[in-house]
């Protein structure tokens, strides 16, 4: 290190640089390398790194809300034998699980192009499907992956509690939680999830006296506990004509948000927000589209789209509170941002060439850079 430059002053510069630059600067000299790869610098850098909305489709990444004009070159590792992973985001890490039972799981930091492969989870009979999510445990400063496997065979479908396992990044091994820690329910393969206050949420369903009901299942990564949030009656009744009920929120600090697409024609696509977490009465239908044939109307906005082949798909709630929707208008798949309060519905000028898309909040970081064993660069 140069003679007059105090380490603290150097950190002032380095903590403001993106991971790609810092990775390059690890070969400036040995003292820079030890500074940049030190756990305390990695966490200092992470604390200063803002979160961006991250969208992935067809192996391309964009961070559309980033201030600089050029999006960073984020790339995922590719595994030729697997397509369409189940993807989960947390801070600067992505968890990708492949297969209908999520047997092959990696945790990846695309900012430094490093990933670790988790050991194989429980081997399950073929009549199980599985779902995973990645989250952070602040008490242990550790990332955890939870895998929830549900039995789908004809006779016992919906009558048993899911099998639950947790793998922490620090220990690198799976732990099976006590059977019955999750309530009796069914969580479909690839059910999308939403985060709110350190909890991950899915819409699950269960059979009560021969009828199916939807509810929101939550998992708390720190306490490794499940919880339930009751849905308003119109969504709780898992009638055959409801096509989609999914948790899309919230963005950072936003309320629990659920998107529902009804069946039939005309069908309605509703956005519901729970203003006060856990208080059933605070569920409020805040927005509705009506889809009639190939015509999509937003009555509260006075807008009408023709040549719409499928109902809009809600992706997520952004940190500024807008709902991001995937639309298919006149053969063009593109993203729209819906601001319910300001009553605006804007084409964000991002065209999507596939129906397969993930979104979430992501912060560029140096995570995984100092992990010694099992890390693969790509």
Partner 1 sequence: MQKTEGEESKAENEEVKQVTLMTSDGVKMKVEISIVYEMEIVRSFIEVNDADHSVPFPLPNVSSHTLDLIIELVKNEYDDEFMKTFSHDELKEVLVAANYLNMKTLLDFIATAIANLLEKKSVEFIRNFFNIVNDFTPEEEAEIRKTNEWVFQDLDED
Shortest reach from residue 36's CB to partner 1, in Å: 12
In the structure encoding, which two tokens stand for residue 51, read together?
């979160």
Cα–Cα distance list, 88 to 131, 180, 212 (Å): 10, 24, 27
d(CA 228, CA 216): 6
Contact assessment for residue 18 and residue 338, using Cβ atoms and an 8 Å cutoff? no
Here's the x/- map for partner 1, 23-62, by CB under 8 A: it reads as xxxxxxxx-x------------------------------
Q: Which is nearer to partner 1, 24 or 175 (CB)?
A: 24
Cα–Cα distance list, 58 to 85, 116, 215, 348 (Å): 12, 22, 32, 18
Which residue from 45, 113, 205, 260 is in contact with partner 1, where contact means CB under 8 A?
Answer: 113
Contacts of 225 (CB under 8 A, 6+ apart): 181, 219
Q: Which is nearer to partner 1, 32 or 136 (CB)?
A: 32
Contact assessment for residue 147 and residue 120, using Cβ atoms and an 8 Å cutoff? no
Which residue from 8, 125, 138, 210 is in contact with partner 1, where contact means CB under 8 A?
Answer: 8
Here's the x/- map for partner 1, 61-80, by CB under 8 A: it reads as ------------x-------
Q: Which is nearer to partner 1, 17 or 181 (CB)?
A: 17
β-pair partners for 163: 149
Q: Which stretch binds partner 1 (CB under 8 A): 1-9, 40-48, 156-164, 304-312?
A: 1-9
Which residue from 171, 173, 176, 377 is in contact with partner 1, where contact means CB under 8 A?
Answer: 377
Shortest reach from residue 64's CB to partner 1, in Å: 20
What DSSP character marks residue 280?
G
Q: Which is nearer to partner 1, 2 or 40 (CB)?
A: 2
SS3 assignment, position 193: coil
Which residue from 18, 77, 99, 183 is in contact with partner 1, where contact means CB under 8 A?
Answer: 18
Q: Would you count residue 4 as binding partner 1 (CB under 8 A)?
A: yes
List the helix and strand counts (H, then E) for the chain: 5, 26
E strand or H helix at 44: helix 39-47
* Footprint on this chain of partner 1 (rule: CB under 8 A): 1-6, 8-9, 12-14, 16-18, 20-21, 23-30, 32, 73, 113, 377
């Amino acid at each position: 290190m140069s003679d007059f430059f105090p380490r603290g002053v150097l950190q002032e510069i380095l903590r403001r640089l993106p991971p790609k630059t810092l990775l390059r600067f690890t070969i400036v000299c040995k003292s820079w390398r030890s500074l940049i790869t030190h756990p305390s610098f990695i966490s200092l850098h992470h604390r200063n790194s803002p979160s961006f909305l991250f969208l992935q489709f067809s192996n391309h990444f964009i961070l559309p809300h980033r201030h600089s004009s050029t999006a960073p070159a984020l790339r995922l590792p590719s595994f030729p034998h697997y397509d369409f992973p189940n993807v989960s985001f947390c801070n600067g890490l992505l968890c990708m699980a492949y297969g209908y039972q999520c047997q092959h799981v990696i945790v990846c930091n695309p900012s430094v192009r490093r990933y670790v492969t988790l050991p194989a989870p429980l081997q399950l009979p073929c009549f199980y499907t599985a779902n995973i999510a990645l989250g952070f445990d602040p008490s242990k400063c550790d990332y955890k992956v939870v895998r929830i496997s549900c039995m789908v065979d004809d006779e016992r479908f919906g009558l048993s509690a899911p099998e639950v396992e947790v793998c922490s990044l620090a220990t690198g091994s799976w732990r099976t939680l006590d059977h019955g820690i999750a309530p009796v329910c069914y969580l479909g393969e690839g059910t999308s999830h939403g985060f709110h206050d350190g909890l991950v949420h899915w819409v699950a369903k269960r059979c009560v006296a021969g009828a199916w009901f939807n509810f929101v299942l939550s998992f708390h990564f720190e306490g490794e506990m499940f919880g339930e949030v009751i849905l308003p009656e119109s969504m709780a009744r898992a009638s055959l004509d409801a096509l989609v009920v999914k948790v899309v929120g919230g963005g950072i600090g936003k309320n629990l948000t659920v998107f529902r697409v009804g069946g039939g024609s005309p069908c309605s696509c509703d956005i519901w927000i729970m203003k006060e977490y856990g208080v059933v009465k605070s569920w409020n239908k805040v927005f509705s589209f009506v889809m009639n044939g190939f015509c999509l109307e937003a009555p509260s906005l006075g807008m009408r789209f023709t040549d719409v082949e499928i109902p809009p798909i809600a992706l997520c709630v952004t940190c500024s509170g807008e709902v991001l929707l995937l639309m298919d208008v006149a053969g063009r798949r593109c993203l729209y941002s819906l601001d319910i309060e300001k009553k605006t519905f804007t084409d964000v000028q991002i065209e999507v060439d596939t129906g397969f898309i993930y979104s979430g909040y992501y912060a560029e970081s140096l995570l995984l850079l100092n992990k010694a064993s099992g890390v693969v660069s790509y």
